[in-house]
Amino acid sequence: MVAEQLNQARQQFDRDGFAVVRDFVGRDEIDQINEEVDRYATEVVPTLPAGSAFYEIKDDPKTLKQLPRINEHDDYFQYWYGYQRDLTQELIREGKL
């Protein structure tokens, strides 16, 4: 994110309590995230304890709807969690609230 985008997002956050960050990630990154979610759902979820994934229809992998604490079980998603946390701290200027 370039400085001007960050400044605009910070102003919007200060004014509205939220910020829309357009083009936060590019199309290639979105494709990679989707691939990583598929990998996580097929390779990691089956190894996790009960309650680590939620389904529309219990235990039907095709109906997966929520992956709480995904960042605690996978390095790829830990990276994105840290990136999102860093952006949030930058937007609220840590210590301001």
Whether pLDDT at 79 is above 60: yes
Model confidence at 52: pLDDT above 70: yes
Cβ count within 10 A of residue 25: 13
Give pLDDT tens digits for 20-43: 877 777 899 889 999 999 999 999
Three-class DSSP category at 66: strand
* pLDDT at residue number 1: 56
pLDDT of residue 93: 66
Q: State the chain's mean pLDDT as an integer.
A: 83
- Model-level pTM greater than 0.75? no
Of 18, 22, 17, the closest CA to residue 5 belongs to 22
